[in-house]
Homo-oligomer: A and B are copies of this chain.
Amino acid sequence: MKIRLGMIGGGPGSFIGAVHRKAAALDAMYELVCGSFSSNPEKSKETGSGLQLDPDRVYGSYQEMISRESALDADLRMQAVSIVTPNHLHAGPAIMALEHGFHVIIDKPLAFSLDEARQIQAAVKKTGLVFALTHTYAGYPMIKEARNLVRTGKIGTLRKIFVEYPQGWLSAHLEKDGQKQASWRTDPSMSGAGGSVGDIGTHAAHLAEYVSGLKIVQVCGELNTKVEGRLLDDDAAALLRFENGVSGVLMATQIAAGEENNLKMRIYGEKGGLEWSHADPNTLLLKPADGPVQVYRTGSGYVSDAAAKFTRLPAGHPEGYIEAFANIYTAFAEAVTDHTSGRYRSAADYDFPTVDEGVRGMAFIETMVASSASDKKWTNLSL
């Protein structure tokens, strides 16, 4: 049976809401049954109508939706909710949904603040429900292959991690003209303490921790606001210290004019290195210290099960951003299905980003903000 999904956010002008819907649709594991797409009931209706939802199940607020869905028959009401609102509207619906028994899949960063993130985490712990965070890039098969190669010792003991995320779209003062995507991301009352560091820096930090299996323990960060008049950072960089004496460098900037969305990770161990770039996401380079670089490719016969599980097509048939996104939805669906049948034990059995990773992301943001304001070189990232 398809999982009955509701959505909070994703109304007119939303970018990520449509992505969530396509990701959920792709593998036919979900049926979108209801939504509260906008705080403006008119706009919510309009979006719901475009999606051919039953008008009775298009709501004017998330509170209404959660309450009224709870009142429906168990085999009718939504089972899980997708939260795709700006950061300041994460904790409220997430906690309410959990408390009403709904599984949650939510966009990153987890919350408006570390404090809110911890409240969500507590609710997940308390309810035992399934909770996933859409760190898209962790959904790419070649990222899963990279993680598997690190785990199996292919590149030896780790030494160094470089992760970078240059974008150029905020090079101009877009929010001045009301561009919706720019406006909330640069507004501290909606985005939180971090601008670029929250929007994309958290993706970079998550990827580094996910692939390496190591936690960042100290940062030496600098946040800049390069566009005059902007209220949050649009450029971030940091020297990093991970567990086990591994060091790293992180860059995340939204003012690298002319860049698209070029998340890239390189990780080096004693025996070799790995390189992955979002510009060519179905390729993973394995660079042995003393042999030819090997080009691992999504869908090839030789890739591990860790990657193959999240692949739809044979090599040479590119899977992209929506497919990576769908991979998180797929793993979440598996967990929800298991939960429904009583087989779910912990998120660790599935390969999707968890609330704990979301809390670490918020700690990363706040540590970067603190480090940037400090004259001390190193600031601890502790939880």
Which A residues from 263 to 312 make CB contacts under 8 A with B?
Answer: 266, 268-273, 278-281, 286-297, 300-302, 312
- A18–B312 CB distance below 8 A: yes
For residue A166, CB closer than 8 A to chain B, the reply is yes
- A251–B249 CB distance below 8 A: yes
- B314–A261 CB distance below 8 A: yes
* Cα distance A247–B372 in the bound complex, in angstroms: 13
Binary interface encoding of chain A residues 160-178 relative to chain B, with 1 for a CB under 8 A from any of its CBs, else 0: 1010101111011000000
Contacts of A357 in B (CB 8 A): none
* Cα distance A345–B278 in the bound complex, in angstroms: 42
* Cα distance A220–B279 in the bound complex, in angstroms: 30
For residue A351, CB closer than 8 A to chain B, the reply is no
Contacts of A167 in B (CB 8 A): 316
A-B contact pairs, 26 of them (CB 8 A): A2-B52, A18-B312, A25-B27, A26-B322, A160-B226, A160-B253, A167-B316, A220-B377, A222-B247, A256-B266, A257-B268, A257-B273, A257-B288, A258-B268, A258-B273, A258-B287, A260-B314, A261-B314, A261-B317, A262-B316, A286-B292, A291-B294, A292-B296, A293-B297, A376-B376, A376-B377
Q: How large is the interface on A (under 10, 10 to 19, 20 to 34, 35 or more residues)?
A: 35 or more
For residue A189, CB closer than 8 A to chain B, the reply is no
- B168–A287 CB distance below 8 A: yes
Question: How far apart are A295's CB and chain B's nearest CB, in angstroms?
Answer: 4
Binary interface encoding of chain A residues 39-73 relative to chain B, with 1 for a CB under 8 A from any of its CBs, else 0: 00000000000011000000000000000000000
- B287–A292 CB distance below 8 A: no
- A289–B222 CB distance below 8 A: no
* Cα distance A348–B156 in the bound complex, in angstroms: 45
- B261–A316 CB distance below 8 A: yes
Question: How far apart are A179's CB and chain B's nearest CB, in angstroms?
Answer: 12
For residue A122, CB closer than 8 A to chain B, the reply is no
* Cα distance A19–B317 in the bound complex, in angstroms: 11
In the complex where A222-B247, A286-B292 touch, is A259 in contact with B237 (Cβ < 8 A)? no
For residue A323, CB closer than 8 A to chain B, the reply is yes
Which of B235, B261, B291, B317 has a CB less than 8 Å from the CB of A321? Answer: B317
- B289–A235 CB distance below 8 A: no
For residue A91, CB closer than 8 A to chain B, the reply is no
Which of B255, B294, B321 has a CB less than 8 Å from the CB of A293? Answer: B294
* Cα distance A96–B168 in the bound complex, in angstroms: 51
Binary interface encoding of chain A residues 354-383 relative to chain B, with 1 for a CB under 8 A from any of its CBs, else 0: 000000000000000000001111100000
